[in-house]
């Protein structure tokens, strides 16, 4: 009798685990998006390659101390999946400061989000030729298009790029980020 | 008299500032000792699937479990640009990824670091076809070669990859991490 009870208990337990597992698997969207319009676990990564560099005094300040650099690349995030990215920024060639960095990430759906970041000064390690931010850099979502029109949000990102002048190697810069994405109501 | 006292105080402050500054730069030996620990180890990489198939000895019964191999590239603050070769087992029923091992080979030095990650279950969002970890995944440095022989350390990893069967798109998986790397 005891063995029967134990068997039944185990079967019940196994059934409960299965049910929990089933619902756990199906409710992944709910788990990550308690409110469909707020993604509190927004994260992703991308690769960017410089496409042009030149003067833009109106935006960046006097040339040649300040230049405008544009980038293109691709990545993936939990907000909209894989995306293409187009970015531009100003940089002070004397101090290395990067400022007015703006990016547009365009998802497979055709919808875009607009990103604006705080200024920061990457630090170059001459031993590894890696240039990176010493502290996480804050950014904001400044709207978008399609489903992301009026989107807001913020996060922190990290950037690491190889300095080709240091080792002669060309490679895309890489960005990773985490934050919160909120769609307009 | 007050002016003289003020002057002496100002000179003393300047002297102390110089001393502190000198002492800070004079501790280069201590700084070098600490260079064996990279407490700001971080990086990002991307890789693509190169093969998938049975490996019962490593991964368990097939077809429930399969072995995946990947190759790609990335950059980190420990050695700069690197190529990566990775392999893992996955349970196709539960989406658990386990026995994930990677070898990062730095382009500049040729050194390698060996990484082993804890198992985790990918969460799939069918709305955007992204599979990702719900919580940071712990990984360990399990040695290496060259200047990284005997390396240790640990990091928290994040994964995001596009599910090709979901949207028909091929795109590399992205991984990024932060942690500590230590050389012996």
Which residues of A fall within a CB distance of 8 Å from B79? Answer: 128
Q: Do residue A45 and residue B128 have CB atoms under 8 angstroms apart?
A: no
Q: How far is A99 from chain B, CA to nearest CA, in Å?
A: 22
Instruction: Return the residue in A39, A130, A135, A146 with the most chain B beta carbons within 10 A, the one to mutate for interface testing.
Output: A130
Could you tell me if B97 and B13 lie in one domain?
no
Could you tell me if B27 and B89 lie in one domain?
no
Could you tell me if A22 and A90 lie in one domain?
no
Could you tell me if B149 and B71 lie in one domain?
yes
Range(s) of the domain holding residue A73: 33-182
Q: The domain spanning residue B149 has which CATH number?
A: 2.40.350
Residue B6 has a pLDDT of: 41
Could you tell me if A24 and A39 lie in one domain?
no
The stretch B44-49 carries a mean pLDDT of 97
Partner residue opposite A160 with nearest CB, options B75, B107, B126: B75
Taking the C-alpha atoms of residue A128 and residue B4, their distance in angstroms, rounded to an integer, is 52
The stretch B105-114 carries a mean pLDDT of 98
Give CA separation, A123 vs A96, A135, A159, in Å: 8, 10, 11
Q: What is the 3 state secondary structure string of B51-75?
A: EEECCHHHHCCCCCEEEEEEEEEEE
The stretch A52-60 carries a mean pLDDT of 98
How many domains would you assign to chain B? Answer: 2
Could you tell me if A86 and A175 lie in one domain?
yes
How many domains would you assign to chain A? Answer: 2
Residue B139 has a pLDDT of: 98
Residue A125, CB-side half-sphere exposure with 13 Å CA sphere: 20
Residue B35 has a pLDDT of: 52
B51/A contact by beta carbon, under 8 A = no
Lowest-pLDDT range of A41-55, A136-150, B5-19, B63-77: B5-19
Partner residue opposite A81 with nearest CB, options B74, B128, B158: B128
Does residue B16 register a pLDDT over 80? no
Taking the C-alpha atoms of residue B82 and residue B75, their distance in angstroms, rounded to an integer, is 6
Could you tell me if A163 and A117 lie in one domain?
yes
Which residues of B fall within a CB distance of 8 Å from A28? Answer: 123-125
Residue B75 has a pLDDT of: 98
Does residue A57 register a pLDDT over 90? yes
Does residue A31 register a pLDDT over 50? no
Does residue A78 register a pLDDT over 70? yes
Q: Is the ipTM of this complex over 0.90?
A: no
Could you tell me if B17 and B79 lie in one domain?
no
State yes or no: cis peptide before A29, omega within 30 of 0. Answer: no
Does residue B1 register a pLDDT over 80? no
Which residues of B fall within a CB distance of 8 Å from A76? Answer: 130, 160-162, 171, 173-174
Q: The domain spanning residue A174 has which CATH number?
A: 2.40.350.10
Instruction: Return the residue in A162, A174, A179, A183 with the most chain B beta carbons within 10 A, the one to mutate for interface testing.
Output: A174
Residue A36 has a pLDDT of: 78
The stretch A140-151 carries a mean pLDDT of 98
Averaged pLDDT of chain A: 86
Q: How far is A78 from chain B, CA to nearest CA, in Å?
A: 6
Could you tell me if B141 and B169 lie in one domain?
yes
Could you tell me if A25 and A40 lie in one domain?
no
Partner residue opposite B127 with nearest CB, options A29, A43, A174: A29
Could you tell me if B51 and B92 lie in one domain?
yes
| The two three-digit tokens of residue B140, written as one number | 């360990």
* Helix intervals (H) in chain A: 2-26, 28-32, 57-60, 164-167
Percent of chain A with pLDDT over 70: 81
Could you tell me if A101 and A43 lie in one domain?
yes
Could you tell me if A1 and A53 lie in one domain?
no
- Give the pLDDT band (50/70/90) at residue A110: very high
Could you tell me if B86 and B123 lie in one domain?
yes
Residue A35 has a pLDDT of: 63
| The two three-digit tokens of residue A55, written as one number | 């003067």
Could you tell me if B8 and B25 lie in one domain?
yes
Could you tell me if A129 and A43 lie in one domain?
yes
Under 8 Å CB pairs connecting chains A and B tally to: 109
Could you tell me if A98 and A176 lie in one domain?
yes
Could you tell me if A130 and A117 lie in one domain?
yes
Could you tell me if A95 and A150 lie in one domain?
yes
Could you tell me if B43 and B99 lie in one domain?
yes
Does residue A43 register a pLDDT over 50? yes
Does residue B10 register a pLDDT over 50? no
Could you tell me if B26 and B49 lie in one domain?
no
Could you tell me if B80 and B15 lie in one domain?
no
Taking the C-alpha atoms of residue B58 and residue B114, their distance in angstroms, rounded to an integer, is 18
Could you tell me if A100 and A20 lie in one domain?
no
Give CA separation, A45 vs A7, A18, A78, A84, A173, in Å: 48, 34, 10, 11, 11
Range(s) of the domain holding residue B18: 2-31
Residue B36 has a pLDDT of: 85
Residue B169 has a pLDDT of: 96
């Amino acid at each position: 009798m005891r063995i029967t009870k134990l068997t039944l208990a185990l079967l019940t337990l196994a059934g409960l685990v299965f049910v929990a597992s089933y619902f756990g698997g199906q409710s992944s969207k709910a788990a990550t998006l308690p409110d469909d319009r707020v993604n509190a676990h927004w994260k992703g990564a991308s690769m960017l390659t410089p496409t042009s560099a030149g003067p833009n005094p109106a935006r960046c300040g006097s040339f040649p101390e300040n230049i405008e650099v544009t980038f293109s690349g691709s990545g993936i995030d939990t907000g909209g999946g894989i995306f293409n990215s187009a970015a531009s920024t100003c940089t002070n060639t004397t101090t290395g400061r990067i400022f007015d960095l703006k990016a547009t990430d365009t998802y497979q759906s055709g919808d875009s989000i607009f990103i604006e970041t705080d200024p920061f000064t990457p630090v170059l390690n001459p031993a590894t030729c890696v240039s990176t931010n010493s502290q996480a850099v804050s950014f904001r979502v400044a709207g978008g298009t399609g489903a992301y029109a009026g989107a807001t949000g913020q996060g922190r990102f990290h950037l690491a790029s190889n300095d080709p002048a240091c080792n002669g190697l060309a490679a895309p810069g890489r960005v990773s980020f985490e934050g919160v994405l909120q769609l307009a109501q | 008299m007050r002016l003289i006292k003020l002057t002496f105080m100002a000179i003393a402050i300047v002297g102390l500032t110089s001393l502190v500054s000198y002492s800070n730069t004079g501790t280069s030996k201590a700084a070098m000792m600490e260079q064996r620990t990279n407490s700001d180890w971080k990086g990002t990489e991307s890789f693509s699937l190169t093969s998938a198939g049975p490996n019962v000895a490593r991964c368990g019964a097939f077809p429930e479990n399969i072995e995946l191999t990947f190759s790609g590239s990335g950059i980190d603050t420990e050695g700069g640009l690197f190529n990566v070769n990775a392999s893992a087992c996955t349970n196709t029923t539960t989406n658990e990824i386990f026995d994930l091992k990677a070898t990062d080979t730095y382009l500049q030095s040729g050194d390698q670091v060996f990484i082993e990650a804890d198992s985790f279950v990918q969460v799939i969002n069918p709305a955007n076809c992204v599979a990702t970890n719900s919580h940071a995944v712990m990984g360990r440095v399990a040695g290496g070669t060259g200047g990284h022989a005997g390396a240790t350390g640990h990091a928290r990893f994040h994964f995001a990859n596009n599910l090709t069967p979901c949207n028909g798109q091929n795109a590399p998986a992205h991984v990024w991490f932060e942690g500590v790397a230590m050389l012996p």
